[in-house]
Chains A and B, each alone.
Chain A
Amino acid sequence: MIHFTNVSKRYENGYEALKHLDLTINKGEMCFLTGHSGAGKSTLLKLIMRMEKATNGQVVVNGENLTKMSKSKIPALRRNIGVVFQNHQLLFDRSVFDNVALPLLIEGADPKMIGNRVRAALDKVGLLKKEKLNPIMLSGGEQQRVGIARAVVKKPPIILADEPTGNLDPKLSSEIMHLFEQFNEREVTVLIASHDLDLIARMGKRVLTLREGSLINGGGNR
């Protein structure tokens, strides 16, 4: 599903975020990505989203070579990836429901279907009763779950999460990890960047460890 072949990323200021990275994540696999801040976790995720372009090497996602991908095809790529952000990236000018419905709206889904899908996703994250609220009225954990509902509402083949439990207490964190596990059981490829090592260890999944732009653990095809 996700293949990195000798991928390097050097930013314009000369900072080398990733060095000669090789990585394969299979379809339906769930992996964790760890490392100190600045180790290149975010860069790796951004390369998969094509928010950044690799300086060297090839990134292939869902059969598409992102290094050669034209700009006009980026939206289609992103529609196949559900992303959860540490800072939630919610819109505070609309309700929880409308936030979650956004990916379906972009896809041009039928309004009737949108209602069902959004409620199913909100039900999954336990926020069905708060669909009419503005996300600003929700707690951090709830906002994070709205973000997760938005990421999964379209049932994308890939889910990426960047520190999804960053600001949450341990109990909430493990609840949210458990949610990702449930999606993974449905053959969804899940990649979670996190530095909550205890939690990751308890999950018993493949762990990719980055240090100074190189994979020191978990790379290659398992």
Chain B
Amino acid sequence: MSEVGKPHNRGVTPRGASVSARPQPQVKKKPEQPVAKGASQSEINTRNKTRSWLRHHRMMAIDSLWRVIRTPFSSLMTWAVLAIALALPTGLYLFLSNAQVVTSNRDGSAQVSLFLKMEVSESQAQALRLNLETRTDIASVAYISKDQAMKEFKQFSGFGEALDYLDDNPLPSVLVVRPANTLTLLNQQEALFTELDKMPEVEEAQLDMDWVKRLYHIMELSQRAVSALAILLGIAVLLVVGNTIRLAIESRRDEIVIVKLVGGSDAFIRRPFLYTGIWYGLGGGLLAWWIINISLLWLEDPVNALASAYDASSFELIGLGAGDSLLLILTSTLLGWLGAWLAVSRHLGDIEPR
């Protein structure tokens, strides 16, 4: 586009005003007459160029959208493939966000059992309990006396009557500490645990940590898995768009040859295909957004039923927020554009007029 308009300035106007047939055998560079005319002329030229550049963008955007819509069935297929590839990681991401809310809402996710020393009396234990309860990093403390512990043990261990033959109760009394919800990080909970473990009344502290740790790592693993899946499916989107654009390039081969022959720049030839990629990406993103919202709607009732069964009726399914929706659609559009770029840079060079 850089040389736009030059032929007209070169004196091939009907009047032929600046034409002078110079029979010089070695014509070097043409004298740059437009430059000599001053800045105002070149400013106008620049503005005209920008305007025609924008005009061509608009034209190509509309033209390629029209081409996409004109073949509704194949376009819809492409959109559907893209939408599924995008909806899958997005849906899993939503599932994880919801799972995180569920797990962090659960009280006592990391409850600590403090087994007190045998010589600690009940009143000492109660005092310790009250003392601990005033702390901000502890939600609640429950006291289980030796007798209670024995009763529970008899009930659940299956030894039953056999335990009656014991002379005295070998079980210690226990304080069950529930850390505050504010302690979300694993190491904060562990710090609390070590502190409790060192208290003089405490024989041994047992952090009910295993499943918390497991859950924590499962969540982290799942997040990574979803990210990996998202990357893979993103690449799939690139390839799908790239292949579709490759076919579009192939079907417009004659046109490309002719445009190259009459002096169309690479950018000019690329433009409609890049817009096609953008439309595929945008359509795929919108369809993915729609699929996710439909699925959420469909899941709402069973989720509510499940939540009320767990006495968590306040739980509400997290959907795609405005930011996430925008991100989904923008990413999809960008992937479409990028896929088109890949196809165009790979295949346009092969098409040369012969």
Given contacts A76-B3, A108-B4, A108-B56, whether A187 and B16 have CB atoms under 8 Å apart is yes
How many Å lie between the Cα of A85 and that of B353 in the bound state?
A: 12
Q: Is A86 positioned at the interface, with any CB of B under 8 Å from its CB?
A: no
Give per-residue flags for B22-37: 1 if the beta carbon is below 8 A from chain A beta carbons, else 0: 1101111110000000
Q: Is A139 positioned at the interface, with any CB of B under 8 Å from its CB?
A: no
Q: Is B21 positioned at the interface, with any CB of A under 8 Å from its CB?
A: yes
B contact residues around A10 at 8 Å (CB): none
Q: Is A77 positioned at the interface, with any CB of B under 8 Å from its CB?
A: yes
Give per-residue flags for A74-103: 1 if the beta carbon is below 8 A from chain B beta carbons, else 0: 011111110100000111010000000011
Instruction: Kindly identify which residue among B8, B12, B25, B262 contacts A106, using a CB–CB cutoff of 8 Å.
Output: B262
Docked complex: B19-73 residues within 8 A CB-CB of A: 19, 21-23, 25-30, 48-49, 52-53, 55-56
Q: Choose, from A24-32, A164-172, A203-211, the stretch at the interface.
A: A24-32
Are the CB atoms of A75 and B10 closer together than 8 Å? no
Closest to A49 in B: B261
Footprint of B on A, CB under 8 Å? 1, 3, 24, 26-28, 49, 51, 60, 62-63, 72, 75-81, 83, 89-91, 93, 102-103, 105-111, 150, 154-157, 186-188, 221
Chain B's interface size range is: 35 or more
Closest to B349 in A: A71
Are the CB atoms of B262 and A79 closer together than 8 Å? yes
10 A-B residue pairings within 8 Å (CB atoms): A1-B27, A3-B26, A51-B261, A75-B264, A76-B263, A78-B260, A103-B263, A108-B55, A156-B7, A157-B7
Q: Is B250 positioned at the interface, with any CB of A under 8 Å from its CB?
A: no
How many Å lie between the Cα of A157 and that of B27 in the bound state?
A: 15
Q: Choose, from B89-97, B251-259, B293-301, B322-330, the stretch at the interface.
A: B251-259
Secondary structure class of chain B's binding surface, majority of residues: loop
Q: Which of A62, A108, A111 neighbours the largest number of chain B CB atoms within 10 Å of its CB?
A: A108
Instruction: Kindly identify which residue among B12, B26, B29 contacts A155, using a CB–CB cutoff of 8 Å.
Output: B12
Are the CB atoms of B264 and A27 closer together than 8 Å? no
Given contacts A49-B261, A63-B30, whether A157 and B56 have CB atoms under 8 Å apart is no
B contact residues around A187 at 8 Å (CB): 11-12, 16, 19, 21
B contact residues around A62 at 8 Å (CB): 27, 30
Q: Is B1 positioned at the interface, with any CB of A under 8 Å from its CB?
A: yes
Given contacts A26-B21, A187-B12, whether A60 and B268 have CB atoms under 8 Å apart is no
